[in-house]
Amino acid sequence: MPRAVRFNNYGGLEVLQVVEVERPKPGPGQLVVQVKAAGINPGEASIRKGVFAERWPSTFPSGQGSDLAGIVADTGLAVTNVAVGDEVIGFTNERASQAEFVVVESGNLVPRPGNVSWEQAGALFVAGTTAYAAVRSVSLREGDTVVVSGAAGGVGSIAVQLAANAGARVIGVASESNHKWLADHGVIPVTYGEGVEDRISAASGGKVDAFIDTFGGGYVEMAIQLGVAPERIDTIIDFAAAAKYGVKTEGNHAAGTADVLGELAGLIATGRLEIPIAKVYPLAEVREAYRDLEQRHTRGKIVLLP
Ligand SMILES: NC(=O)c1ccc[n+]([C@@H]2O[C@H](COP(=O)([O-])OP(=O)(O)OC[C@H]3O[C@@H](n4cnc5c(N)ncnc54)[C@H](OP(=O)(O)O)[C@@H]3O)[C@@H](O)[C@H]2O)c1
């Protein structure tokens, strides 16, 4: 029987299990993908810990994960856009992608370009569409200076490249271990911690036009202090500060579509976007994968390989 990640109650890493499940069957308009790679995201850890239990409760036993790439294994009635054997990149909104087989809506897939690795394809959906939404929301123009906090993380590493592609000068806030990667991708690296605001001011020459916060913990206030207009600040994590200062909160919900996924896959295929893969884990090591992610120092993405 195929294996899938499951948890039966909210809790720490210990509630995560890899169990044998029935092979899922597609309904009308759905298909089944044999998953080759499934990215992991911090939001899934928060769901599993019960942080969102009131707003977005889990039903138990719960599966986990949205990101996926794989091979179409079975199609339901009225599926015309893909066929068995097609290689695809996609997503599920059913918390289910961390599995050997997963049901996917036929509208939630795009073809995998041959030169996009399984790891990059499987890691693309949540982080990629979130970065896309965040960059779009701050309306970058050629020559603007934008600051990205968490610049080398899953979302940040993609956001800095999309911002540079838009013609902006990009300042990336990250630890020194990530500075070479950032500089190699055309980003001016700045170390976080005490004095970071002064270092950003120095690096920007005193003019910051836009700010994308992927880390929280005071970066929205800092952006306001730096004189950035609220409509050109986006945070994907600090919703209290967003409410207080009236800044944007555009993330996955604003761009989580197959069209955007296809656009991002095209950028990778043509060499204009790279998804750094920090580490891959077999599905059986799902706990180790999240333990690693929850340190909050990942460069790019961690990916499970079922
Ligand atoms: N709203 C949405 O739609 C949405 C979607 C996706 C994610 N999110 C949220 O956005 C956040 C980022 O997600 P992610 O997948 O990019 O996380 P991630 O891959 O775990 O990235 C974490 C990054 O934070 C950096 N960091 C650690 N301490 C920092 C500090 N004091 N200042 C600045 N950066 C620091 C790390 O950089 P160093 O290694 O250099 O320390 C690391 O690159 C998470 O909280 C996640 O839940 C929201």
* pLDDT-based confidence at residue 265 (cuts at 50, 70, 90): very high
- Rounded Cα gap, residues 180 and 69, in angstroms: 29
What is the Å distance from ligand 1's center to 215 Cα?
Answer: 5
Q: Of the residues 136, 297, 301, 302, which should be mutated to test ligand 1's pocket, given the most ligand atoms within 8 Å of the CB?
A: 297
**For the chain, what is the mean pLDDT?**
98
What is the Å distance from ligand 1's center to 109 Cα?
Answer: 26
Q: From the CA of 302, give the closest atom in ligand 1.
A: 19
Contact 157, 299 (CB under 8 A): yes
Residue 195 pLDDT: 97
Contact 288, 306 (CB under 8 A): no
Rounded mean pLDDT of 41-50?
A: 98
Q: Of the residues 175, 177, 179, which should be mutated to test ligand 1's pocket, given the most ligand atoms within 8 Å of the CB?
A: 175
Residue 194 pLDDT: 97
What is the Å distance from ligand 1's center to 237 Cα?
Answer: 9
Residue of minimum CA distance from atom 2 in ligand 1: 251
What is the Å distance from ligand 1's center to 76 Cα?
Answer: 37
Q: From the CA of 196, give the closest atom in ligand 1.
A: 32
What is the Å distance from ligand 1's center to 73 Cα?
Answer: 34
Q: Residues lining ligand 1, judged by CB closer than 6 Å?
A: 41-43, 126-127, 130, 149-150, 152-156, 173-175, 178, 192, 214-215, 236-237, 251-252, 293, 296-298
* pLDDT-based confidence at residue 14 (cuts at 50, 70, 90): very high
Residue 78 pLDDT: 96
* pLDDT-based confidence at residue 150 (cuts at 50, 70, 90): very high
Q: From the CA of 236, give the closest atom in ligand 1.
A: 1
Residue 261 pLDDT: 98
* pLDDT-based confidence at residue 290 (cuts at 50, 70, 90): very high
